[in-house]
Chains A and B, each alone.
Chain A
Amino acid sequence: MRKWFFVIAVIALAAVALTACGGGGKSASAGPIKVGGLFDLSGPTSDVGTPYSEGVRDYVAWLNANGGINGRQIDLEWADYAYKVDQAEQLYSQYVNDGVVAFMGWGTGDTEALRSKIASDKIPYMSASYSANLVKDISKAPYNFLIGVTYSDQAIIAIQWAIQDWKASGHDGAPKVALIHHDSPFGESPVADAKAFADAHGVGFMHIAMPKGATDYVAELAQIQQFGANYVIVHTVSSPAAVLIKDAKSQGLLGKIKFINMNWCADEIFLKLAGDAANGVYGTIPFTPPTDPVPGHDAPAKWLKDHGSSLDAKGVHYVQGWWTMAVMAEGIKRAAAKGDVTGESIKAALETIKNFDTGGVTAPITFTAQSHRGNTALRIYQVKDGKWTRVTDYISAP
């Protein structure tokens, strides 16, 4: 009877060994170009992750429908990773094994966790995490490319604008600025740079974290009031930002203090959640929202219309995904024009991109071998009649 074990064990061993043998090949110079994708469609950031991923996927579909890259299709291999780092790693190594040459990621979690790995695998990586850490020291993140304005630059631009606005409204001296942020690395990321900038310009500065799981932010607003802030920069995601603004309204602060939301809370979701309270709130928005039409909206709008949807329904994060993928595709296109499409050649090609025009969706994108900080300028918007409306032209961070 014991020989049964042996027989079964041998069969099991053989079966596992056989299934393990499937291997992947490297992308050749013909056939589809494989690109990997990781999106959050069911995790904590799925509210904004879903439209972003649709933007990326639809750009690929649009590009393929319009002839692809030199006649080669882009094969986007993607999956939902529910913002779980372990799953991101599994999927990443699976796709790299399948021969992807570039990668579209999503959050701070996966982007940070894969930073060393993509460098050793030589896979260019673009995500929607705009942490300044990723571009500060290029030797530490040589394959990360940023399309959005970093959180640090957004906060600095907000302070710059506050100084001008303070003078323009007839005040003397410098204003006081408070930065209220998500209690996470994502939230804390701009604090040090913003403080340094404020100190250098004589601007009073305080920062405070929004406690996790809080149902109101009255205590934090009281501290901000005590400090005497004239401007409050809000760096969090839409739903806590909406709660904060509603609290500010009920405390009667909206007339006295100007609130400036950074990109992850300056979107349509915030407008919907905050309702009336949103009116008058400012936003640092690196990707032009659909309510402010620019030529860069035409292609995605037409694509969505042809597929029974509309750009207004999908919102700014769809545009963000669409154009992030477009910049990556531009790199692949330039690499393909020169020869083999590999991670290394795409990186080199991306580094030749200078003043790339996104049809007004972002400021022109530039990468160099020394800097992957693609974009340092944005426009300030303000909510008027429940819509994000442009109030300044592009402001550049120093």
Chain B
Amino acid sequence: MVSGVFHTSYESDMALRRTPAQKIRIALFILFILVFPFFANKYTLTLANQIAIATIGAIGLNILTGYTGQISLGQGGFMAVGAYTAGLLTVRLGMPWWLSIIIASLVTAVVGAIFGIPSLRLKGLYLAIATLAAQEIILWTVTHWKGLTGGVEALVVPDPRLFGLRLNADFNFYWLAWALAGITALVTLNLFRTHYGRAFIAIRDQDIAAEVMGVNLFRYKLLAFAISSFFVGVSGALLAHYRSIVTWERFTLDVSVLYLAMIIIGGMGSVSGSLFGASFMTLLPAFLTNMGRALRKVFPAINAIMPFIQEATFGLVIILFLILEPEGLKKLWEDIKDYFRLWPFSY
């Protein structure tokens, strides 16, 4: 009988996959990801692709906000940098899509690091406002620098192709998006097994103590911004190639708030939490809309107020989650695991 997971050696404590059960679960999850598209229809594939892109973006934000404790309201802006860079490189320079994604991510990393400079002096709410400025500045630039981005006009990106296959078809894109989501998760999990990751966590927990221990705050905060923005750039660039069209309206402040909600609901400072949060925030509106449509057919009288019921339910579910499980879906998942692990002696 086990009463919990305890590590008796540093090796097992530091291991990427700590228990055999975890290995089985990951194997099952990967199996599911591999099998899913063959059973899915266009709609569920679209949802799955949106989740993959959101997961990459949420992991990126989680590195900065969840692991390093630097709140960011600039997510939408950074995604815009990734999307527009990838789009422009492909349209103007005729660059292949894969190269444009890599360069766009690097450019976003640099832009993120630049907007991360104020983080050395600013914390908490003040940093939130500084990153809000980043969001506004980037979007203003995108909509007003007509010579570069085309300003008002949406940027139409040619279809990404690989060996004659149209990669932005839902089925084909699925493999690219989930492969990149997997790589992002793996890199991030490993990042927090290195001294860089430990420095980030030290900054989050107590920045002064971290500095006393020899963590160069300026360097590591900028690094956190850069690494985080890199992944956010990946998700933005993927979005550009998936939708073949880049418009500013996809990257508004709403998006920044949505991603913050994802990591708060999913679980701060957790890769699996990012996946949970991204899935939840993508599937909940879809679920509510479908419920709404079904209800509308049964009770035509509520037709007029249905949208408001949906919006209110969305808010209510989020509030209830935060009250009942402030540590997010990740904690809920752990509770479920513990329940079965300790059964029948759970208390």
Contact = CB atoms under 8 A, between A and B. Distances in A.
Whether chains A and B associate is yes
| Best-buried of A5, A23, A140 by chain B (most CB within 10 Å) | A5
B340 A185 contact: no
**Chain A facing B: main interface SS:** helix
Interface string B69-108: 0000000000000000000000000000000000000000
A21 interface: yes
Interface string A9-28: 11001001100111110000
Nearest to B336: A8
A332 to B, nearest CB: 22
B24 A2 contact: yes
Contact of A20 (B41, B143, B245, B292): B41
A89 B243 contact: yes
Nearest to A77: B293
Interface residues of A, number: 49
| Best-buried of A21, A77, A79, A184 by chain B (most CB within 10 Å) | A79
Given A1-B340, A93-B42, A116-B244, 4 more contacts: A5-B25, A113-B245, A133-B153, A140-B156
Nearest to B341: A1
Contacts of B151: 185, 188
A188 B293 CA distance: 36
Nearest to B35: A17
A397 interface: no
A254 B129 CA distance: 40
Contact of A5 (B156, B248, B292, B340): B340
A97 B243 contact: no
Given A41-B307, A80-B310, A117-B244, A1 B343 contact: yes
Contacts of A77: 293
Interface of A: 1-2, 4-6, 8-10, 13, 16-17, 20-24, 41-42, 46, 77, 79-80, 82, 84-87, 89-91, 93-94, 96-98, 108-109, 112-113, 115-117, 120, 133, 140, 184-185, 188-189
A112 B247 contact: yes
| Best-buried of B20, B31, B153, B243 by chain A (most CB within 10 Å) | B153
A79 B245 contact: no
Given A89-B243, A116-B245, A82 B311 contact: yes
B42 A80 contact: no
Q: How large is the interface on B (under 10, 10 to 19, 20 to 34, 35 or more residues)?
A: 35 or more
Contacts of A17: 35-36, 39
A133 B39 contact: no
B308 interface: yes
**Chain B facing A: main interface SS:** helix
A49 to B, nearest CB: 10
Given A1-B341, A87-B285, A116 B307 contact: no
A21 B39 contact: yes
A21 B31 CA distance: 17
A2 B20 contact: yes
A390 B203 CA distance: 68
18 contacts: A10-B28, A22-B41, A41-B306, A41-B307, A80-B292, A86-B282, A87-B285, A90-B43, A90-B285, A90-B289, A91-B289, A94-B286, A98-B43, A113-B249, A116-B243, A116-B245, A185-B151, A185-B248
Contacts of A90: 43, 46-47, 50, 282, 285-286, 289
Contacts of B311: 42, 82
A223 to B, nearest CB: 18
B157 to A, nearest CB: 8
Nearest to A92: B46
Given A1-B343, A115-B154, A9 B25 contact: yes
B301 interface: no
B151 to A, nearest CB: 7
Leading 5 A-B pairs by shortest Cβ distance: A42-B307, A116-B244, A93-B46, A80-B307, A97-B43
B40 interface: yes
B32 A16 contact: yes
| Best-buried of A85, A97, A112, A188 by chain B (most CB within 10 Å) | A112
Interface string B168-197: 001000000000000000000000000000
Contacts of A98: 43
A41 to B, nearest CB: 4
B41 A185 contact: no
Contacts of B248: 185
Interface in B228-263: 243-245, 247-250, 254
A17 B40 CA distance: 8
Interface string B313-329: 00000000000000000
B44 interface: yes
Contacts of B50: 86, 89-90
Given A80-B307, A80-B310, A13 B28 contact: yes
